Amino acid sequence: MISKLKLLVKTEERKELSVCPICESSLEETTVIRKGIKLHGFKCNKCGEVVFPSSEVFRYEILSGKRNVREVRKVGNSIVIGIPKNLAKNIGIKPGDLAYFEGKGKEIHVDILKK
């Protein structure tokens, strides 16, 4: 029985998830359905613990609505990502404010300049 999702942050997780973090026994691939979402994880042969790669936990959070996710759209020659209304309100972003973007590796940092 799975009590909660386990988040294991490792590089090349699928390759590294071969030993149970609880009892250090071997793991085998398994599929679990949580709230109608199929998840791929690894089950311990000894204690029955099920662990999931962080990519599966992230996918679950998106599909179950626990994360704010927006579709990237093209408008003219630009790429547009909408900011959820409640998030914009909470941090005080209003139409007409300016956004400064800076790319760092595979991340985008945004600073809002109030008018």
Please report whether residue 29 resides in a domain: yes
- Whole-model pTM? 0.52
* 1 in a structural domain: no
Residue 2, domain member (yes or no): no
Nearest to 32 by CA among 72, 60, 71, 10: 60
E-strand ranges in 1-115 read: 7-8, 27-34, 37-44, 50-53, 72-75, 78-81, 98-104, 107-113
Q: 108 lies in a domain?
A: yes
Q: Is residue 106 part of a domain?
A: yes
What pairs with residue 110 in β-bridges?
101
Number of domains forming the structure of the chain: 2
In a domain, 100, yes or no: yes
List the domain range (segments joined by +) for residue 16. 7-63
Q: State whether 54 and 16 are in the same domain.
A: yes
85 shares its domain with 57: no
Q: What is the pLDDT of residues 49-90, one digit of tens each?
A: 999 988 888 889 888 878 777 889 999 999 998 888 888 898
Q: What are the tens digits of pLDDT across the range 28-52?
A: 999 999 989 999 999 999 999 999 9
